Structure 1
Amino acid sequence: MATTVLLSKGRYRARLAQSAEDIRAAQALRTFAFGIRQPDSDDFDMQCSHILVEDMRSAGQVVCCFRMLTMDHGREIGRSYSAQFYDLSSMEGFGGRMVEIGRFCVHPDLSDPDILRVAWGAMAAYVDQNNVEMLFGCSSFAGTETEQYLDAFAMLKHRHLAPKRWLPRVKAPDVFRFAARLRRRPDAKKAMLRMPPLLRTYLMMGGWVSDHAVVDRHMNTLHVFTGLEIGSIPPARKRLLRAVAG
């Protein structure tokens, strides 16, 4: 079977998973990166396309992965992973093609920023090739305690809440309603230090979030619903992404 390479830059290559073995490699990295005891797999794995970022100087070691669930329009959003945790009925009227990005992780022992750049470049290539108009998913903070993230949540409240027409409503039983509860002004430096790298990148592109975080004790995370309308990405950022995608 031919390898479907989305992007190759320097030592890293991003490609679509082609086999059950590829998906098992992604699941193994997820299990390690998320620090969970049971293998990280679910029914969505069989419905999604999986992207693997490999280090070609280390025998093709998988250093980053994520999965994508493609929908032709908002009326399909109820079948997304995120819909288990958020009431997304407000987004059912979205008319364009959507992709849910899930289980995004980078090998925790690696800090090369080029890994994230290649992952985003591959995402940009997929978006362009498939006429995608919105990316969305759950962006996770490690752990379930809110105290260390209060500046980050305050910044999300003040600068990055979803437009009212798309704002998800509460569905999960255990949530932190940060937009309603927080009165503090964010310390920008502390906020960005505590902001997960993936979410930070979404926000730089013009992304937005729900007004509450879900407390996911199974995955030991707090997560916010995150959306990014492709048409609203600042032109300079879009050019940068496409330059990476080559």
Structure 2
Amino acid sequence: MTAETAIYETRLARDEADLLAAQRLRYSVFVEELGGDGPMVDHAARLERDEFDPVYDHLILVDRTRPQGDHVVGAYRLLPAERAEAFGRYYCDAEYDLAPLRASGRKLLELGRSCVHPEHRGGAAMLMLWNGLADYVLAREIEVLFGVASFHGIDPEPLRQPLAWLHHHHLAPPEMRPRARAEHFQPMDLVPEAELDRRAAMAGMPNLIKAYLRLGGFVGEGAYIDAPFNTTDVLLLMDTKAMSEKHRSFYTRRVEPREAGGGGQG
């Protein structure tokens, strides 16, 4: 453990104070930074929240040096299939037809609201969140992870290259491929495969999406235009049992070997 990681603790939210701190971080990132909004967003208290928060597990990254209330510097929402069934739906149901995933018979986990405080990006914070997610997934024998990830903005023109790259190179297998709801469907094949520019596609790709692709992730059919959140969403999914050993070691590795002089995050 080094000074960089000693300040952090990764765990599930334990109480209302943890949840409020996560919602405050989400407000900073999704509302103030990215321009999002929603019917349950509390602008007066600066909390980004919705009706799903009570049924999710909230994986949080705590900075021990920050005061209580602002102690959460990274967050992920996690919804196991059995809890989604009891609640009646997943968050992604509003944007994608999840019938292929439900019909697969696999053990599912929905991910959402992934964010890291700006001061903690680029270091060990995201890797530690991934470590916490890996522990959660392995302990529960989750087989398929899925969730929406967002491009900033709803104009497809600047997103042509990254969306087309995802469509031509990373579509999920047909038997597991959710499709964006028709009323907000945005085609992703905006550039013919022969005209793709990999450098431009990667430059326009959010880091979270690139991380899933490195792990062997796939995307659903079509993007979803989420006007209230000012985002263009894609459905990411990852079959944990289909990961190569290389991908699995990246996903489950600990922070300590990197700190001892091993390779970087990649």
**TM-score normalised to structure 1 length:** 0.88
2:58 maps to which residue?
A: 50
Matched, 1:182 2:191: yes
1:229 maps to which residue?
A: 239
* Aligned residue among 181, 200, 219 for 2:210: 200
SS at match of 1:102: strand
CA-to-partner distance for each residue in 1:19-44, whole Å, 9 max, x for gaps?
11211111111111012463321111
Q: Percent identity?
A: 30
1:77 positional shift: 10
2:27 maps to which residue?
A: 31
1:199 positional shift: 1.0
Distance 1:130 1:245, change over 3 A: farther
CA distance in 1, matches of 2:158, 2:118: 20
Distance 1:162 1:21, change over 3 A: same
* Aligned residue among 68, 93, 106 for 2:103: 93
* Aligned residue among 104, 108, 130 for 2:140: 130
CA-to-partner distance for each residue in 1:2-58, whole Å, 9 max, x for gaps?
xxxxxx944322110011121111111111101246332111100000011122344
Structure 2, unaligned stretches of length 5 or more? Answer: 43-47, 257-266
Count of residue pairs brought into register by the alignment: 238
CA-to-partner distance for each residue in 1:152-177, whole Å, 9 max, x for gaps?
11210121011111111232512211
SS at match of 1:47: coil
Amino acid paired to 1:52: I
Distance 1:17 1:27, change over 3 A: same
Within 5 Å, give how 1:38-187 maps onto structure 2: 38-39=41-42, 40-59=48-67, 61-72=71-82, 79-179=89-189, 181-184=190-193, 185-187=195-197
**Residues 107-116 or 195-204, more deviating:** 107-116
CA distance in 2, matches of 1:127, 1:211: 25
Question: What RMSD in Å do the two structures reach over aligned CA positions?
Answer: 2.4
Contact 2:55 2:83 in 1 (8 A): no
Amino acid paired to 2:231: T
**TM-score normalised to structure 2 length:** 0.82
Structure 1, unaligned stretches of length 5 or more? Answer: 1-7
Amino acid paired to 1:230: T
